DNA sequence: AATAATGAGTTGCATTTGAAACCTATATAT
DNA sequence: ATATATAGGTTTCAAATGCAACTCATTATT
């Protein structure tokens, strides 16, 4: 088993078990404890897990980080693919969500002179160590768990801008309601932001296509393209393409 | 020597040395390593230091945290004193800075139904775990090191509000220029915010009264009161009182 | 085709760690 | 006045850690 594969499985295990001992992991994968420790160190450096004496836990206090660990490698590849459309010197908008956070970091690391406009203080913090990345943080009512600003102030702030690309996540999808979310205020804020962008690009792992959120986020016709993995259900994919949406898969 | 005193000295030592071994601290204070470890655990829980195998370092990557550790106990007392004027249900504005961060936390922990308006994403993150604290995060150009929003967007955001109290830090003071700062954009933003508050309260440890910042922050006549420690130079204190400013000392 | 460089793992050891049991002075309650 | 928490501290010890030195493939380089 390759190392990256083991890393993925460790994250999977942690999503289920909350906490695993080094010794236990060492037995499961039949490698030395030293090897496991190195794995955990690397995952910790990526901000995915937290280490303690003898065991590791998910960085799960934090909503986004939790979702970051879940399907991490797929999300990383989606972020990679989505970032290919962004060119040096561009100004873009990014909303909250795990894929979006990875995308923001990917862009900040690989492109030059990027300006990121976001309502996510998490993302602002996530990319601030990367030099020469300019961030516009949109203000508003601060949601304590998600670290996202929402509400009328965000609207007021974002109306100052008009950009080419706006990257968003989603909590679900259905043909009738389009893309859906799980938080009313956040969904409204996404719609406000979407008005200030030419293209709206959904970046999400394919699991969301089997779910439906509780509130409307954006109807299909407002979406320019979707970046996801190749487990997207065929019906969804063909429907999206019918609607004139570009579907990119890793 | 009391525990709190030892904690203070550990922070002092760390400000000088960057990194100290548990064994060394144990020798210096003539207490067991277990005791030192407990001390370090507590300081780590407060977010002041970082622990590693065998030693501790300041959480100094982060500008504000660094300053947080420096004179921590005095700053904590200043925050405590300043928070006494705030009552349940109040909406207030707080700017960035180490005393301000401690103040925000103190208020969030001890008062009910508080709304904090701030341009500091650091402070928003610092208090978000405290339940029932509402935060309005002001957006703008994000300063990557200080995690503060500045510029015209902040001005636009903050004009929505008018509050009774606005708490600020300072980088220096002189009779001729009044309170001074070290960053042009941030100082301008502070002035923008100050217009939306009845009272402007400076919270700062007394060391700043022996320094002068490079740009004007706010003239003396715009300040309502100053909360500091009792090492404020006599001349500064009497001058401030002459100008009709309330001076509170711990 | 031979050689060097690199990445992934292992073993071994001295050092550090967390946890539990224990000590002791100072409040707090009865 | 006496019992009882409680906070700060110590000792002890098995378990976990970092580090260095060593394999063993795989990938580049010449």
Q: Which helix (H) or strand (E) holds B238?
A: helix B234-242
Angle at the Cα of B50 from the Cα atoms of B44 and B52, rounded to 5 degrees: 115
Question: What pLDDT does residue A1 have?
Answer: 77
State which fold the B74-249 domain adopts: Rossmann fold (3.40.50)
* A55 close to A11: Cβ distance less than 8 angstroms: no
Question: What pLDDT does residue B209 have?
Answer: 95
Question: What pLDDT does residue B66 have?
Answer: 64
pTM for the whole structure = 0.91
pLDDT tens, position by position, A21-46: 999 999 999 999 999 999 999 999 88
**C1'-nearest nucleotide to the CA of B54:** C16
Question: What pLDDT does residue A211 have?
Answer: 93
Question: What pLDDT does residue B79 have?
Answer: 95
**C1'-nearest nucleotide to the CA of A22:** D16
* Angle between helical axes of A3-17 and A33-45 (0-180°, round to 10): 80
Identify the CATH class of A69-249.
alpha beta
B139 secondary structure, DSSP code: P
φ/ψ bin of B152: left (φ > 0), alpha (ψ from -120 to 50), beta (otherwise): alpha
Task: Work out the burial of residue A102: count CB atoms within 10 Å of its CB; fewer than 13 is exposed, 13-18 middle, 19 or more buried.
Answer: buried
Tell me the two tokens of residue A109. Answer: 């690391």
Pick out chain B residues at pLDDT < 70.
60-62, 65-66
Question: What pLDDT does residue B70 have?
Answer: 87
CA B1 to C1' D3, in angstroms, rounded, equals: 29
CA atoms of A165 and A85, how far apart (whole Å): 9
Q: Which of A137, A154, A160 sits opposite B121 (nearest CB)?
A: A137
CA atoms of B48 and B65, how far apart (whole Å): 6
Q: B167: closest CA among B123, B230, B211, B229?
A: B123
Question: What pLDDT does residue B61 have?
Answer: 58
In 3-state terms, chain B is what percent helix, strand and coil (to 5)?
Answer: 45, 25, 30
What is the mean predicted confidence (pLDDT) over A116-143?
95
Contact B129/A147, CB-based, under 8 Å? no
Whether CB of A235 is under 7 Å from strand D: the answer is: no
Question: What pLDDT does residue B59 have?
Answer: 77
* A100 close to A116: Cβ distance less than 8 angstroms: no
Task: Tokens 């719609």: give the residue.
Answer: A191
Question: What pLDDT does residue B211 have?
Answer: 93
Task: Work out the burial of residue A185: count CB atoms within 10 Å of its CB; fewer than 13 is exposed, 13-18 middle, 19 or more buried.
Answer: middle
Pairing of strands A55-58, A134-137: unpaired
In 3-state terms, chain A is what percent helix, strand and coil (to 5)?
Answer: 45, 25, 30
- Domain A3-60 = CATH 3.40.50.1220: no
Mutation pick from B144, B146, B159 vs chain A, by most beta carbons of A within 10 Å, is B144
* A37 close to A49: Cβ distance less than 8 angstroms: no
CA atoms of B61 and B146, how far apart (whole Å): 11
State which fold the B3-61 domain adopts: Arc Repressor Mutant, subunit A (1.10.10)
CA atoms of A39 and A11, how far apart (whole Å): 11
> CB neighbours (10 Å) of residue A99?
28
Contacts of A150 (CB under 8 A, 6+ apart): A119, A140, A141, A143, A183, A185, A186, A188, A189
Q: A42: closest CA among A17, A72, A67, A19?
A: A72
Q: Which of B128, B136, B141 sits opposite A136 (nearest CB)?
A: B141
pLDDT tens, position by position, A174-196: 999 999 999 999 999 999 999 99
Question: What pLDDT does residue A36 have?
Answer: 95
Strand D positions with any atom < 7 Å from protein CB?
Answer: 7-12, 15-20
Average pLDDT along chain A: 93
CA atoms of B220 and B215, how far apart (whole Å): 14
Contact A133/B144, CB-based, under 8 Å? yes
Question: What pLDDT does residue B216 have?
Answer: 96
CA nearest to A155 within chain B: B157
Residue A61 pLDDT > 60: no
Contact A124/B142, CB-based, under 8 Å? yes
Buried b (16+ CB within 10 A) or exposed e, A29-41: bebeeeebeebbe
Question: SS3 of B52, please?
Answer: strand
Contacts of A125 (CB under 8 A, 6+ apart): A147, B121, B125, B147
Indicate the domain borders of chain B: 3-61, 74-249
CA atoms of A178 and A184, how far apart (whole Å): 15
Beta strands in A163-224, from DSSP E residues, in sequence order: 163-168, 172-174, 178-181, 197-203, 215-218
CA nearest to A138 within chain B: B139
pLDDT tens, position by position, A193-207: 999 999 999 999 999
Contacts of B135 (CB under 8 A, 6+ apart): A141, A142, A144, B115, B116, B117, B118, B124, B127, B128
> CB neighbours (10 Å) of residue A44?
14
Q: Is A154 on the interface with B (CB under 8 A)?
A: yes
């Amino acid at each position: 088993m390759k190392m990256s594969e083991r890393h993925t499985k460790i994250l999977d295990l942690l999503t289920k078990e909350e906490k695993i001992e080094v010794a236990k992991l060492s037995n499961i994968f039949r490698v030395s404890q030293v090897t496991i420790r190195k794995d955990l160190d690397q995952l910790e450096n990526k901000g995915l897990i937290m280490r303690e004496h003898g065991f590791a836990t998910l960085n799960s206090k934090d909503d986004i980080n939790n979702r970051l660990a879940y399907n991490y490698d797929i999300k990383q590849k989606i972020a990679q693919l989505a970032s290919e459309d962004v060119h040096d010197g561009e100004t873009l908008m990014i909303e909250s969500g795990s894929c979006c956070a990875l995308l923001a970091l990917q862009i900040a690391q690989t492109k030059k002179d990027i300006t990121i406009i976001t309502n996510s203080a998490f993302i602002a913090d996530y990319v601030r160590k990367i030099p020469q990345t300019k961030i516009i943080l949109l203000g508003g009512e601060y949601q304590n768990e998600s670290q996202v600003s929402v509400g009328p102030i965000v609207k007021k702030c974002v109306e100052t801008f008009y950009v080419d690309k706006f990257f968003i996540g989603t909590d679900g999808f259905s043909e009738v309601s389009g893309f859906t979310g799980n938080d009313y205020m956040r969904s409204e804020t996404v719609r406000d932001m979407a008005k200030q962008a030419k293209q709206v690009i959904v970046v999400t792992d394919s699991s969301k296509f089997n779910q439906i959120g509780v509130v409307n986020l954006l109807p299909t016709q407002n979406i320019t393209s979707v970046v996801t993995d190749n487990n997207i259900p065929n019906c969804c994919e063909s429907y999206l393409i019918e609607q004139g949406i570009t579907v990119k898969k890793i």
